[in-house]
Amino acid sequence: MTALDVVTAADRSDDLLDSYASWVATLPIQPSVRQDRVWRAARFLTAHPDIEVWMGRPTPARLADLHRVRAWPFVTWLFVAGWVRPDLELVAAKPGGVDLPAAWAAANAGDVERVAACGVGMGWSENWIHQVAVLALSLVAVVTGKTLAVLNDADFDTVIAECDRAAGISTSARVRLHTRIFALRHICFQLGVCDPPPRMAGPSARSAAEHAETIRQLDIR
């Protein structure tokens, strides 16, 4: 890394922190909480001034970095605001309580409403509509860096391929992601966003030994 690269990374880090602080100032939370969020973002950027370089770190290391300074609110803002496009493995590995789907949905309420309305018309339950219109849509949107209107079939193929490559996603979580993304793709077909009707691609056949490896209980395996 050259001296110019260091200055550029530092300048970008300052821009990120200034923009984040301005956004946090608009939140309906206590002043002390605002200060805490900005302070944690500053600590994170001090350790990792070049976000793109940090995104190249292994997922377990990034999760540890975020946990260490409790910087998930900051990176959530980065993803939703479009400063950085995350990989699916990191998004899928976020711990409980991280409000990335809710934050994205609040910033893109119109997209959520379009998908939810279509789900209502198809007779889906409220819970399943939430899983598709908020959880699946936010994931596909931040990973592709696109809004609902400009998604296409190639984007869904890319997200599914990334899901299948992600080593940190369990088999059960991968199945849930596939199912939600397929339902979202079906909605996009209904809305005219995607052209051909989607087809559910089932998992490849596994041998008995491969199936047994997914069973955690040793005696049952």
CA distance 200 to 160: 11
Give DSSP secondary structure letters for 84-120: SPPPHHHHHHPPTT--HHHHHHHHTHHHHHHHHHHHH
pLDDT in tens, 49-88: 999 999 999 999 999 999 999 999 999 999 999 999 999 9
Per-residue pLDDT, 13: 84
pLDDT at 59: 95
The one-letter amino acid code at 82 reads G
Q: Is the pLDDT of residue 3 over 50?
A: no
**Tens digits of residue pLDDT in 139-196:** 999 999 999 999 999 999 999 999 999 988 999 999 999 999 999 999 999 999 988 6
Whether 49 contacts 15, CB under 8 Å:
no
CB atoms within 10 A of CB 171: 10
Residue 165 CB coordination number (10 Å) = 11
**CB-facing half-sphere around the CA of 8: CA atoms within 13 A:** 7
Q: What is the pLDDT of residue 168?
A: 87
